[in-house]
């Protein structure tokens, strides 16, 4: 029988707040109202599965790979202070003025509500990130250090690429120097040649050298990781309370980190490291499709093909996928205005301060699945450089079609 376990740790405590009235004929303040609203401190809840003989299993080389959830919320600090109202005329028979103020964290919490960390990244973006990382981790199982099949197939293009620098220099001096409008074309072509011609070739040479020098262990872990961040800002105005309304700005910062891995055994030969197996053919075929690397900017097709291709001699032991959400929320008072204030009184002081709350939600599942999905960076609009490259490539294709 599966034994579920729930553990909770809490240092939460109530915070009090008051409506404080300073009476003209008294040397002390009178607290006319007390509130215990809002919390400070930390609360952590962990849910997992108990495995009998956990230590014995680990000591014997076995795997314990259970799902778990850990949710931690921390009300870090709050230094808010409320506004003040004051009578327009002195207290009868006195030269002093009646003054009232909202004092304490709980008072502002009663008016504004408890600040709760919010998810900013959409469910669609998070799902795409999980699919992308999971698929990349499976594609990394016995991944070759170099793709010799692709290098051989593109040998004629490589030779042609090294001829072009001389052609660019000649064309630039003879023809384009007199036509400034064409300088952009030469520069963009040279940039693309470096990014997707020379640099990949250098990486391929490095991979071959690594394959010749490095022996992989029989047991390995194929890993992948992805992180996205998004920040949202909103403003609001509280309802009137004792004749005052508070303006505030909330900033929610959301970072999502996904990790995936698979522990597996396999014997790795030089043939495997150089990518010369039958299982490397589908991946090489996709690489040879014109502009397939551009498609990979938008959809994880290349990794999906590699992940779905069976690899002989590979024995999988355990897989995992973890998702960590880090939420940091900040509320800052920005204004204090009169709203429904009784006649005979006016605002005499503004509220101020900041409240900060943090939440960390961690979840792990004991499986990894490959799936075809849109790249998460596109949904989160974090791939501006690649979009510029895509624009230059499309422009280059159109220019060639016109010639």
| Between 229 and 395, the higher pLDDT residue | 229
Domain-embedded: residue 100: no
pLDDT tier at 85 (50, 70, 90 boundaries)? confident
Could you report the per-residue pLDDT of 302-337, keeping only the tens digit for each? 999 999 998 888 889 899 999 999 999 999 999 999
Domain-embedded: residue 397: yes
- Residues 6+ away with beta carbon under 8 Å from 311: 141, 142, 266, 277, 279
- CA-CA-CA-CA torsion sign (204, 207, 212, 218): negative
Domain count, the chain: 1
- Least confidently predicted of 59-68, 177-186, 269-278, 362-371: 177-186
Could you report the per-residue pLDDT of 210-267, keeping only the tens digit for each? 555 555 557 889 999 999 999 999 999 998 888 889 999 999 999 999 999 999 988 7
**Structure-token match 């499709």, residue found:** 289
Domain-embedded: residue 241: yes
Domain-embedded: residue 358: yes
Per-residue pLDDT, 258: 97
Domain-embedded: residue 135: yes
Domain-embedded: residue 30: no
pLDDT tier at 175 (50, 70, 90 boundaries)? very low
Judged against a pLDDT cut of 90, whether residue 100 lies above it is answered with: no
pLDDT tier at 59 (50, 70, 90 boundaries)? confident
pTM (predicted TM-score): 0.76
CA distances from 156 to 161, 166, 187, 381 (A): 9, 17, 23, 37
Domain-embedded: residue 176: no
Query: Domain span at residue 140?
Result: 120-145+214-402
Per-residue pLDDT, 360: 95
Query: DSSP assignment, residue 145?
Result: S
Per-residue pLDDT, 66: 87
| Helix ranges, 194-291 (H) | 199-213, 270-273, 281-288
Domain-embedded: residue 171: no
**Average pLDDT of 16-36?**
58
Spatial contact of 313 and 266, defined as CB atoms under 8 Å apart: yes
- Residues 6+ away with beta carbon under 8 Å from 129: 226, 228, 256, 258, 376
Query: CA-CA distance, 319 to 140, in Å (whole number)?
Result: 13
Backbone angles phi, psi at 102, to 5 degrees: -90, 115
Per-residue pLDDT, 176: 47
Judged against a pLDDT cut of 80, whether residue 82 lies above it is answered with: yes
Mean pLDDT taken over the chain: 77
Nearest alpha carbon to residue 321 among 141, 180, 131: 131
């Amino acid at each position: 029988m599966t034994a579920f376990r729930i553990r909770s740790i809490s240092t939460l405590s109530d915070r009090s707040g008051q409506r404080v009235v300073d009476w003209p004929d008294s040397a002390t303040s009178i607290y006319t109202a007390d509130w215990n609203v809002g919390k400070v401190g930390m609360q952590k809840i962990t849910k997992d599965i108990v495995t009998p003989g956990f230590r014995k299993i680990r000591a014997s080389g076995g795997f314990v790979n259970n799902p778990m959830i850990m949710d931690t919320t921390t009300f870090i600090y709050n230094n808010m202070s409320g506004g003040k109202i004051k009578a327009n005329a002195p207290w009868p028979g006195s030269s002093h003025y009646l003054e009232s103020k909202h004092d304490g964290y709980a008072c502002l919490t009663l008016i504004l509500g408890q600040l709760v960390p919010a998810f900013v990244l959409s469910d669609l973006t998070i799902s795409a990130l999980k699919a992308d990382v999971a698929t990349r981790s499976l594609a990394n199982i016995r991944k070759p250090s170099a793709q010799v099949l692709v290098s051989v197939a593109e040998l004629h293009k490589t030779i042609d690429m090294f001829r072009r620098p001389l052609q660019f220099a000649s064309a630039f001096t003879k023809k384009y120097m007199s036509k400034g409008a064409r300088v952009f074309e030469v520069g963009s072509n040279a940039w693309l040649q470096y990014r997707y011609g020379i640099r990949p070739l250098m990486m391929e040479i490095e991979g071959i050298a690594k394959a010749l020098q490095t022996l992989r262990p029989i047991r390995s872990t194929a890993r992948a990781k992805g992180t996205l961040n998004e920040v949202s800002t909103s403003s609001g105005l509280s309802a009137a309370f004792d004749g005052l309304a508070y303006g505030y700005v909330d900033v929610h910062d959301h970072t999502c980190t996904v990790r995936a891995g698979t522990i597996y055994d396999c014997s790795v030969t030089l043939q495997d490291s150089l990518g010369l197996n039958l299982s490397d053919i589908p991946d090489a075929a996709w690489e040879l499709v014109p502009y397939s690397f551009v498609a990979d900017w938008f959809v994880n097709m290349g990794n999906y093909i590699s992940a779905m291709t069976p690899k002989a001699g590979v024995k999988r032991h355990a897989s995992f996928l973890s998702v960590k959400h880090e939420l940091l929320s900040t509320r800052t008072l920005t204004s204090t205005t009169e709203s429904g204030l009784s006649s005979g009184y006016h605002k005499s002081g503004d509220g101020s301060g900041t409240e900060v709350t943090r939440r960390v939600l961690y979840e792990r599942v004991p499986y990894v699945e490959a799936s075809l999905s849109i790249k998460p960076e596109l949904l989160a609009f974090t791939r501006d450089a690649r979009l510029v490259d895509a624009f230059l490539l499309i422009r280059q294709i159109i220019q060639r079609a016109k010639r």
